[in-house]
Amino acid sequence: MAKPILSAFADEYSAELDVQLKMLQENGIGYIELRGIDGKNISTLTDGEVQILKEKLEAAQINVSAIGSPIGKIALDGDFEAHLEMARRVFKTAVAVGTTNIRMFSFYPPEGKKIEDCFDEVVEKLDRLLTLAEEYGLTLCHENEAGIFGESPEACHRLLTAFGGRLKCVFDMGNFTLENYKAFPEGYELLRDYIVYFHIKDGFSTGEIVPPTKGQACIPEILAAHNEIATEDYIITLEPHLEVFDGLSGLVKEITHKNPYQFPSAEVAFRTAIDLIKEVIA
């Protein structure tokens, strides 16, 4: 039977790469999904900074499970040529640090339009990104996210099937739950054949983000189901969002009820999430 392997968005613990790597080592986590590095987004690193990153990862014996890129997180009428150049930068970084998985999104609508009416344009732009990624031997993994085309399980499935397997899935059960979609069984069963890895986040449909297993995202049930069908071990990336970090305020909708889980620091929050997800894996 396959089993999950733990990775993490360690920038939720600290902005500093050295602190991120030390935390992963102390908690026996051998993988990282790269996003925030010493206060910079992974997509903006220079060649020299990528080389330093690579050397530090190797010294710490931490592998890269994926690049948590911002690709596709722009409006459809934004500067797509500039976005392609940013994507090329991300792809070169992925090759340098030894991962083939790129997390990405499926665009926001132009002002005055509904994203569900923009399917053809979404597909056209994703196809160009896929073609570029394939030149580098990389896999684009689409994450479900509020406000983009692929917000609902049904919209994600429509995109994934449109590309006949070229586009893969990062399944974020917490994001589905926060937007009042059923992550399990409905969402998982619809998308399971396209899933490369998972983002671990939990919450309630009323907007509260809570520690893993404390909400409605059905994390244990989803992982148990995937263990039964996976043909090899697979990555689960911890992205708990329990304490506000740089950029979080723009990622989640307004909370309408008081969150029952409060943490004194990002460090305490993240270590709590680690302990809880390790219980699930065990």
For residue 213, the 8-state DSSP code is T
pLDDT of residue 257: 54
Element housing 276 (H / E)? helix 266-281
pLDDT at residue 101, as a whole number: 98
Rounded to an integer, what distance in angstroms lies between the CA atom of residue 19 and that of residue 156? 35
CATH number at residue 71: 3.20.20.150
18/24 Cα distance (integer angstroms): 10
Range of the domain at 31: 4-281
Task: Tell me which residue has tokens 């619809």.
Answer: 190
State how many domains the chain has. 1
Q: What pLDDT does residue 249 have?
A: 44
- With H, G, I as helix, E, B as strand and everything else as coil, classify residue 94: helix
pLDDT at residue number 246: 44
Mean per-residue pLDDT over the chain, rounded: 94
3-state secondary structure (DSSP) of residue 169: strand
CA-CA distances (angstroms) from residue 85 to 66, 207, 225? 19, 35, 39
Full-model pTM: 0.94
Which residues of the chain have a pLDDT value below 70? 243-257
Long-range contacts (CB closer than 8 Å, 24 or more residues apart) made by 74-80: 74/107, 74/108, 75/107, 75/108, 75/109, 75/110, 75/111, 76/107, 76/108, 76/109, 76/110, 76/115, 76/118, 76/121, 76/122, 76/125, 77/110, 77/111, 80/125, 80/128
Question: Which pLDDT does position 259 carry in this prediction?
Answer: 76
d(Cα 201, Cα 198) in Å, to the nearest integer? 9
pLDDT, residue 87, reads: 98
CA distance 29 to 251: 25
Tokens of 82: 């500039």
The predicted-structure confidence for 112-162, as pLDDT tens digits, reads as follows 999 999 999 999 999 999 999 999 999 999 999 999 999 999 999 999 999
The 3-state DSSP class for residue 261 equals: coil
Give 254: exposed, middle or buried? Use CB within 10 Å, 0-12, 13-18, 19+. Answer: exposed
